[in-house]
Structures are given as C-alpha cells and as structure tokens.
C-alpha cells in the first residue's frame, strides 16, 4: 500500500469501516502506514496496535527506559443490528453516543462478514405523520435501516443480528484554501493520523529522547470500555498525551460563555473533564513550548466529555497525562467538521514537546 500524507491520510482513515469492536480494517491500514517508520509494533490481547520508537542520547537508560505513551482511538460511533422484521427492515441500537436527530435519512454501510451492504436509515414519511409526531424527534425504536430487501428471508442473506453499521459519508474539503475538512469519524481518525505523522517525523529526524515513545491506537473508546487501559498496563508509561476530537460549539448564535474553543486557533488543552484532572506541570510545559515555537493552542473552555486519558491515568501506579483535542463541529454525526490547521498544530506541538522534554 502506498503511504498517505496530510489531508489524504485523514481522508483514507475516515473512509474506513470501524465502529467500536470492529476496528480491524483501521488497524490493518495503520500498520501498513507505519511500516518502516518505527523500531517495532505489536497487537496486544485487547486488539490495540502499539508502535515503539526507542529513545537515545546521554539521558536514556537503555536497561530500564522510561516510557512516553501517545494514544488515539481507532473506533467510531455506529449502529448494531438488533432485529430483522418480517418486511426485511433492520432495527438497530446505537454504538456510542449518537443524537437520534442526525440519523433519519442518512446513508449507512452495514458490514456483513466481509461484504459491505448499502442502506438508508428511514422512518415514517412526514406526509403520514400526525401533527404531534411532526413536532417530535423520531425515537430510535421507530427508526430502521432499509437495505432494499423484500422480506426477512431476503434481508438475512445480506445482514444478521449483531452486524454493525456506520455512516456512509464523503470526505470533502471546503472554505478558503480548503482549510476545513468534513466527513464521518474525524473523531478520532484525525487523532490516528496525528499519531502516524508524529511517529514518522520522529523516525525520519532522529533526536535524543530520554524515553521510549509508544504510540497506542486503541479500541472501543466510544463505548466507554476503551482498550487504552490494557495498552497502558502493557506499556507502563510515566507520561502520556491523549489526542482526541472534542465538540467545540463555536457555531452561529452560540453565546461566548458556552463556546468551548474556536476552530483555527490550534488544539485544545484540557484542564479537566468528567474522567480526568490533568497534570498541571505538563499543561504548563505544553503552553510554554507552544509559545516558544509559535504553535497555536488554546485551553478547552469546558469540562464536559471524557477520553482515553481516564483509563491511562489510573493504570498501574498512575500516569501523568494531558489531553490535546481537535476542535470539531457536529461531532458524532455523518458530517463532522474540523480545520486542518488545528490538526497540524497538534502534530507540531507534540513533536516539539518530545524534542524539548524537561519534566522529571
């Protein structure tokens, strides 16, 4: 497989099928993209992909090296088929947090074994709805996936209970100089792309690192049972940076007090969220490095959400962690939107931090 770079790397990653528990295609692609750019990589028992770049230099303890973990999750939100009715429609539940308002009318891909099956999420047409129904969001239990089957027996040739589905959504760039990216699964395929790019940069331009840098591409973050805890136990890091995507709320008419961040002003550094209170010294160091190198970054103006950091921080004897998040509009939908310059800023900041590390 050819190596992908920049926006094309993000595009390729977002196009892959990979809801929680079904990350194999994403993992295989990442393994091919990092081949030859790391000292080793492995797949652990939980299905995480762990790649390592060995440290070097006068401060590196080869016999008992410290470990620095950088993590991003491979999975995306999706759906799981729970029932096939007599008419051949697929009923489903969500995998991860999806607002039912973004579901109806969306094209999806159902993966049945190795076969991708096209479908559309549908419900009763507006012409047939009562006045009361028109004023309410269609509940999940009244939505179904239409794969064009004539009846249950026909549908069962192309889908089964337990099969998963994801949004089918084209990746497009738009805005001045195509600075914005739109697609499914920017959460967290942009994070995976960042890890690949950081890994390649460190390997192409070796520098003295006082620790081994381990890159964890993790599973099942979207359903709260992340493989990050297994990855952290296997690596036993002293420090960790988790790269993810986070809702930004910088849309029209949003009150200044409710804005989480602003797209185009760099990655968001979290102070705290529902799972983690982050390491103050690491945050201050990141801000100092960003200022020194002229790299855009911003503080996340909210304590909502959580990510892999919660699992990593409380593993073993504890890990010092910080989180860098990509400001993302319309997250957990078929049309996530992010600014590519923010993605680039995250990559630059992590590389600069590693190359000038001073915390003990």
Distance CA 14, CA 168 (A): 10
Residue 250 tokens, joined:
């910088």
Q: Are 323 and 244 in contact (CB under 8 A)?
A: yes
User: How many residues are there in the chain?
Assistant: 360
Distance CA 263, CA 346 (A): 13
Distance CA 35, CA 169 (A): 28
Residue that is written with structure tokens 């969306």 in the block: 106
* Residue 272: DSSP 8-state: B
User: Rounded to the nearest 10 degrees, how much is the dihedral formed by the CA atoms of 47, 50, 51, 54?
Assistant: -150
Element housing 213 (H / E): strand 211-218
Q: At CA 242, angle to CA 342 and CA 312, rounded to 5?
A: 170
Q: Has 221 been annotated as catalytic?
A: yes
DSSP string, 308-359: HHHHHHTSTT--EEEEEEEEEESTTSTTEEEEHHHHHHHHHHHHHHHHT---
H helical segments located in the chain: 6-14, 24-34, 131-134, 152-155, 186-204, 228-235, 280-293, 308-313, 340-355
* Residue 179: DSSP 8-state: -
Q: What is the 3-state secondary structure (H, E, C) of 84-149?
A: ECCCCCEEEEEECCCCHHHCCCCEEEEEECCEEEEEEEECCCHHHCCHHHHCCCCCHHHCEEECCC
Determine whether 7 is exposed, middle or buried from the number of CB atoms within 10 Å of its CB (0-12, 13-18, 19+): middle
CA quadruple 146, 152, 156, 158: dihedral sign: negative
Beta partners for residue 94, in sequence order: 79
Residue of 23, 197, 221, 222 with catalytic role: 221
Provide the annotated active-site residues: 221
């Amino acid at each position: 497989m050819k190596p992908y770079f920049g926006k094309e790397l993000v595009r390729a990653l977002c196009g892959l099928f990979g809801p929680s528990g079904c990350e194999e295609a994403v993992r295989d692609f990442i393994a091919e993209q990092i081949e030859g750019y790391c000292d080793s990589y492995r797949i652990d028992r939980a299905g995480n992909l762990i790649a390592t770049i060995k440290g070097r230099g006068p401060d590196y303890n080869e016999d008992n090296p410290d470990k620095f973990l950088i993590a991003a999750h491979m999975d995306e939100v999706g759906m799981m088929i729970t029932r096939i009715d007599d008419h051949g429609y697929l009923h489903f539940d969500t995998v991860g947090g999806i607002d039912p308002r973004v579901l109806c009318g969306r094209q999806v891909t159902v993966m049945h074994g190795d076969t991708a099956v096209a479908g559309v999420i549908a419900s009763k047409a507006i012409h047939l709805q009562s006045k009361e129904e028109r004023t309410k969001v269609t509940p999940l239990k009244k939505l179904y996936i239409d794969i064009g089957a004539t009846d249950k027996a026909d549908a069962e040739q192309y889908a089964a209970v337990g099969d998963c589905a994801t949004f089918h959504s084209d990746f497009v760039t738009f805005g001045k100089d195509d600075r914005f990216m739109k697609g499914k699964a920017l959460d967290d395929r942009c994070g995976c792309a960042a890890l690949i790019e950081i890994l390649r940069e460190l390997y192409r331009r070796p520098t003295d690192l006082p620790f081994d840098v381990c890159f964890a591409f993790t599973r099942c973050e979207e359903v709260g049972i992340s493989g990050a805890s297994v990855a952290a136990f296997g690596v036993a890091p002293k420090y960790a940076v988790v790269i993810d995507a986070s809702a930004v709320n910088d849309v029209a008419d949003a009150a200044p007090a409710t804005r989480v961040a602003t797209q185009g002003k760099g990655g968001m550094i979290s102070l705290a969220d529902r799972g983690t209170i982050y390491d103050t010294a690491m945050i201050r160091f990141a801000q100092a490095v960003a200022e020194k190198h002229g790299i855009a970054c911003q503080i996340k103006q909210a304590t909502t959400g959580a990510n892999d950091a919660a699992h990593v921080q409380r593993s073993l004897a504890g890990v010092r962690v910080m989180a860098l998040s990509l400001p993302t509009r319309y997250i957990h939908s078929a049309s996530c939107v992010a600014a590519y310059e923010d993605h680039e800023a995250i990559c630059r900041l992590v590389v600069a931090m590693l190359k000038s590390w001073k915390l003990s």
